[in-house]
Amino acid sequence: MVHLLADVVLPFSISDETLIKLSVPGVLMLVLQQTNDPSLHTWIMEGAMNSSPNIYEDLLQVIAKGTSESRVAASNLLLHYWPFSNPNIIHRKIIQYKVHAWQRIACQSNTCTEKGPSVKSCYDPVICADVGDTSPPVFLCRKCADNVIAERKVPMRHLTQPMQASSVTCQNKDCQSQSRLAVSICFSHDCTRTHNFVPVRLCQECVTTLHSHCDSPHLIQCGSGCAWGQPIMWDTVEGIVKLMRETAQFEGTEGEGKRPKWLRQLEGGHSLGKEIDTMADERRMLSRFGVWMMAALCPPNQNADQKAISYIMYNVFQWFATTALLPNDSMGASLEQLKTDVSSKSIDIDR
């Protein structure tokens, strides 16, 4: 299903002539919520980014208006594709959710013996029926695609390949920027063909340099930077607030921190007729994403919206209170440290 959405439906349904773009946040939310496989999450994300602009905004809407389950993956993916210039965030400790690179489907040619990953696709219905006994499109490995091109003289489309799950620095080989933190991702073939058709992460300087003289606009996925005065300001603010409020669902009772973790999960799961929340620890730490987003995207400066700042600060104080009631373990200590490192500085500046 994710393969059909990412590689077939989205590329051919999103255009200026349709309103399918409005459904992208809903599609992302459903996939992030209904599957626990992180590789499927990156698959639908990169499929959407390869088909439509402004996926950053769509992901923000998932965080701001989506379900608690989808918010776990969406928050991790937001900082994975658009990292903030903070070493504590870039090298943050993984709790439960870990981003995984997805894999291209195997070659669909009936005569292929190697069944390697697909690199090209063909939309000619006759070729699809003859080669793969399937409806368009058919996905082929390099060897099979070259054979079809040589025999049938049909055009093929290069497939965008999966991105690495670990790179957060500029991938331009000629980059000379002092700040090599990747802030944008280019999906256009003019840039990816020299990178094995893998989308290219670029720093701000390289984005400007490489795209200043393009013959046609490139599909570049950018973050927002400071949200004040931008159309996505309230989605950003609401996303920060929703992340901070996640902690309120895990308020502990006195002495809870002394009980084993497996016992607390059991009491909150099967004993109440519910499934055990396998991502409970990750959800408990979701508020740290809200604090990081607050510091990076909504700083309390002279351009700040007063209503937005008041809304955020109210929830910051609520977050201070709820985190004080959480079990006194390593994760609770981590949140307490975050209060000192980030939140307190924002409160002092806002006075």
Predicted local distance difference test score (pLDDT) of residue 253: 43
Structure tokens given for 209: 């340099």
Question: Could you tell me the mean pLDDT of each successive run of 10 residues in the chain, 351 residues long?
Answer: 93 88 96 95 97 96 94 94 79 79 95 95 95 94 96 93 86 90 94 94 94 91 92 97 84 47 49 55 85 91 92 92 75 76 58 53
Cβ-Cβ contacts under 8 Å for 40 (sequence gap 6 or more): 2, 31, 102
**What is the structure's pLDDT at 263?**
47
Would you say the pTM of this structure is higher than 0.85? yes
Residue 35: per-residue pLDDT:
93
Place of tokens 């200043």: 212
**pLDDT value, residue 250:** 60
Q: Which residue type, as a one-letter code, is found at position 263?
A: L
Order of strands across the sheet with 220-222? 200-202, 184-186, 220-222
DSSP letter at 312 equals H
CA distances from 331 to 182, 253, 284 (A): 29, 16, 8
Question: What does the alpha-carbon distance between residue 287 and residue 248 come to, in Å, rounded to a whole number?
Answer: 10
CA distance 46 to 199: 9
What is the pLDDT at residue 327? Answer: 67
Rg of the chain over all Cα atoms, to the nearest angstrom: 23
Residue 251 confidence (pLDDT)? 55
Structure tokens at 110: 């009936």
| N- to C-terminal Cα separation, the chain | 51
At residue 257, the pLDDT reads 47
Q: Tell me whether the omega of the peptide bond preceding residue 137 falls within 30 degrees of 0, making it cis.
A: yes
CA distances in angstroms from 110 to 3, 103, 118, 141, listed in the order given: 19, 20, 13, 12
Q: C-alpha distances in angstroms, 168 versus 27, 38, 91? A: 26, 18, 10
Between CA 321 and CA 289, with CA 298 as vertex, the angle to 5 degrees is: 55
No. of helices (H) and no. of strands (E), the chain: 18, 6
Map tokens 């290069």 to a residue: 158
Count of CA atoms in the C-beta half-sphere (13 A) of 292: 20
Q: What pLDDT shows up at residue 214?
A: 87
What are the phi and psi torsion angles at 299 (to 5°)? -70, 145
Q: In which region does residue 156 sit, left (phi positive, over 0), alpha (psi from -120 to 50) or beta (all else)?
A: beta
d(CA 319, CA 199): 38
